Amino acid sequence: MEIADFQKLIEQMYSAKDRARGSPRTFLWLIEEIGELASALATDNKADKAGEFADVFAWLVTLANVEGVDLNQAVEKYAHGCPGCGKMVCTCTEK
């Protein structure tokens, strides 16, 4: 799926509730899903992990919708190399 299509899908599915809730409260739900991902990472259940990765991504995109950020456009910063070192295979030392 295209990043832009996923963002549109999530917009259609959740934007009415998201906008009413606002950005800070939407961020809280993103963090709740980050916690669920952490729990899943501590297990060997691959399906649970995959589900939690999808949920974190969905909440990240939902928050981007509330903030009016186009995620597909935003990731352009990675398209031609690492934003830190500029290389296609990162040579940054700090991370």
Instruction: Please state, in angstroms and as integers, the Cα–Cα distance from residue 68 to each residue in 2, 36, 75, 79, 86, following that order.
Output: 18, 26, 15, 21, 27
Regarding 23 and contact with a copy of itself (CB under 8 A), the answer is yes
The secondary structure element, H or E, covering residue 30 is helix 23-41
Q: Minimum distance between the CB of residue 71 and a copy of itself, rounded to whole angstroms? A: 6
41 binds a copy of itself (CB under 8 A): yes
Candidates 19, 39, 45, 70; binder of a copy of itself (CB under 8 A) is 70
Binding flag, residue 43, a copy of itself (CB under 8 A) = no
